[in-house]
Amino acid sequence: MPARFPTFALAAVLALLPVVAEAERYARPEATEPCEETLKLQQIFGLADPAEKLKYLEEFLRRFPKHPASGWVLEQTQLLLAARQQWREAITAGERLLELDPDDVEAAYRNLQAAEAAQDASAVRAHAARAWEVARRVAARPDAPKADLARQVIQYCEYLDYVEITKAQDPKQRLSLMAEFERKHPRSSYLGNVQSLYFPTYEQLGDRAKVLALAEQMIERGAASEDLAVSVAEHYFKAGDFDKALRYSAKTIEAAAQRRAEAAAGPDSAKQAARALGRAYWMAGKIQMERGQFAAADSLLRQALNRLRGNDAMTGAVLFHLGWVNYKLGNLVDAEKFNQSCLQYRGPYQDAARRNLEVIRVERSAK
C-alpha cells in the first residue's frame, strides 16, 4: 500500500497570512520643486485610469531611473501590474524594488504572490526562498517597522516548504526536502508534521531500520519533535520491547516540556503536542499496568486521558484500563466511574466494561 502523507488545513494558514497586496512601503513623494520630474509626478498623481497611469509610471522610470521617487514609482508599478494580472512584469518590478532595498519584505512577498498566481512552480520555489531570506533578516530586528509582517511571511514560507514535501512523490526527493526544512526551520510549528514523515518515507525505500536509527540519534541530541519521539516509542511498543517504549515515551514528554519552556508552540502545534503526549502517557501507563505497577499506571493513564479527549477510540481504551487499574488498587468508586464512562465509546472495550461494572457493583453492595 503506498504511503499516505498528511495535509495541513489551508484555511487555517490563510487566516494568518499577511495582507500586503495593497500595502505601500513608500509614501507618496512631495512634488513641489519646479522641474520636469515634478510635472511628471503631478501628472501621475492626477490619473485615475489604471492603464494610463501605468504607462506614465513606466515612462517616468525609463527617463528618471535614479530619481528619489523611483521607489514609490516602482511600488505603484508593481501594484498596478499585479492588479492587471501581469504577473511576470509585476515580479520584474519587485526585483527592481529589492535592488533599491534588499529588506523590502512587501516587494518580496508580492513577488511570491505573483509567482503563485502565475502557477509557476519553479518561480514559487525561488521567490519563496527569497521572501524567506528577506523576512528572516527583518524579523531578526524586533524594532524593525515590518517585523510583525516579516514573521507572518516566514510562517507562510514554512507552510509552502511543508506542502512541497507532502507533494513530493519521489521518496529520495522528499528526504532531501525534509532535511532542508529542518535546516531552515528548526523551530517551525510544522516540524512535527515533517518529522512524522520519516517512517513512511523510509518504508517506501524499504529501509525502516535506517529511519529508526536516525530518529533515535535525533531524539538523543534533543532535535526531535514529540511526534517523532512518540513514533519511535510506538514502534517499540508494538514490537514488545517495553523498556525502549518506556524510554522513548519519557523522551516524548521531555520534548514537549522543552518546547513549552522555549514558548515555541503556537495553538496548532500545542494541540499536536498534546496528542503526542497523550499517546506517550498511554503507552507508559499500559506498560506499568502490565508490570503490576498500578499506582504509576493510574497516574500516567490519567495524564493520557486529559490529552486524548476527542479521539474516541483511544479515549475508550484509556477509560477501560483506568477502570481496571483502579479496581486493582481497591478504588472501586473510580473503577465504576471509568467503566461507566467507557460505555459511551463504541469499540472493543464496551462489552468488557459492562461486565466489569456488574462485578464492581456487586462488590460495592457487599461492603
For residues 285 and 304, is the Cβ–Cβ distance under 8 A?
A: yes
d(CA 97, CA 140): 21
pTM of the model: 0.61
Q: Which three cell numbers stand for residue 168?
A: 513530493
- pLDDT tens-digit series, residues 1-37: 344 444 444 444 444 454 444 456 766 777 667 788 7
| pLDDT of 327 strictly over 60 | yes
Percent of the chain with pLDDT over 70: 88
Give the mean model confidence (pLDDT) for residues 79-91: 93
3-state secondary structure of 140: coil
| pLDDT of 178 strictly over 90 | yes
3-state helix, strand, coil in the chain (%, to 5): 75, 0, 25
Percent of the chain with pLDDT over 90: 51
d(CA 47, CA 353): 77
For the chain, first and last CA: distance in Å?
55
pLDDT at 23: 57
What is the SS3 assignment for 156-176? HHHHHHHHHHHHCCCHHHHHH
